[in-house]
């Protein structure tokens, strides 16, 4: 069974590319499930209910998010009613939405999707590893789900790597999001869990992590800064493609996925 995970969608151009290409991508790659992080899909800051509906309609099974999930006020009511849009599980108690879900395809295969947020260099949240303990106890491969994907949204590569090893043997894939740059460490860990420190973004890489490069660079050279705008060049769609052995729920193979834009000719699927 094959699962495609795509990293943070940044802005309208990338969002449209994902929506337009998704039906063909699913067919070409033979994906049983597709998961996409959408937390920057609305102008680079947050996501709206209408955008989520468009993403679900194009063939995405589950949407994950991160620290920008509540940037658009209208998303709160939608989160409370749409189980397939996740916010980090270890956010403060009482917030709308939830951080994990189990979905099932037409063949009856059960996929668990988990959204966690890191603690280092991020806004304050409950300990991510304590939240992981609860997930491992309640969502077990072979018993509760046939496969499991964990989106770990965070800044520090060390914390992401630690989480990958923490879930090794308990998840099909652990993949980092948030830093918008695809890392070169896609592999299957010793216990059978596929891992990549960061999936990268779906966005224009002729930019500074998806934002206009001149405005972003000025922040480092003494400029006044201000609110950044999304770069609008040709987007690259970036993520991870993992083949899962249904008998165990563990990964047989994992490959970085990069398609289109500035990263079109880099080595990946």
Q: Which residues are catalytic?
A: 68
What's the Cα-to-Cα distance from 16 to each of 9, 54, 209, 212, 237, rounded to whole Å? 10, 9, 18, 18, 11
What pairing do the DSSP bridges indicate for beta strands 237-245 and 2-6? Answer: antiparallel
Q: From CA 211, how far away is CA 33, in angstroms rounded?
A: 29
Tell me if 96 sits within 8 A of 80, measured CB to CB. yes
Q: From CA 261, how far away is CA 233, in angstroms rounded?
A: 8
Q: From CA 40, how far away is CA 8, in angstroms rounded?
A: 6
What pairing do the DSSP bridges indicate for beta strands 33-37 and 2-6? Answer: parallel
Tell me if 2 sits within 8 A of 244, measured CB to CB. yes
């Amino acid at each position: 069974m094959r699962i495609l995970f795509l990293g943070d969608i940044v802005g309208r151009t990338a969002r449209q590319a994902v929506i337009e290409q998704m039906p063909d991508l699913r067919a070409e790659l033979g994906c049983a499930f597709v998961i996409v992080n959408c937390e920057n899909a609305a102008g680079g800051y947050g996501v709206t209910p209408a955008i989520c509906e468009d993403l679900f309609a194009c063939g995405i099974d589950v949407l994950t998010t991160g620290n920008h999930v509540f940037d658009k006020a209208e998303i709160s009511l939608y989160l409370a009613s749409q189980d397939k849009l996740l916010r980090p599980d270890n956010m403060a108690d009482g917030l709308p939405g939830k951080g994990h879900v189990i979905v099932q395809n037409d063949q009856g295969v059960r996929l668990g999707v988990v959204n966690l947020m890191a603690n280092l260099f991020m806004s304050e949240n409950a300990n991510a590893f304590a939240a992981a303990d609860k997930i491992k106890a309640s969502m077990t491969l072979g018993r509760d789900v046939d496969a499991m994907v964990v989106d770990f949204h965070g800044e520090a590569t060390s914390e992401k790597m630690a989480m990958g090893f923490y879930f090794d043997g308990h998840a099909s894939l652990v993949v980092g999001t948030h830093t918008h740059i695809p890392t070169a460490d896609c592999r299957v860990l010793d216990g059978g869990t596929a891992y990549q420190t960061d999936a990268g973004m779906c966005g224009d890489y002729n930019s500074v992590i998806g934002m206009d490069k001149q405005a972003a660079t000025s922040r480092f050279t003494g400029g006044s800064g201000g609110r950044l705008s999304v770069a609008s060049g040709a987007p690259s769609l970036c993520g991870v493609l993992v083949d899962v052995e249904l008998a165990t729920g563990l990964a047989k193979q994992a490959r970085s996925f990069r398609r289109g834009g500035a990263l079109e000719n880099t080595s990946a699927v």
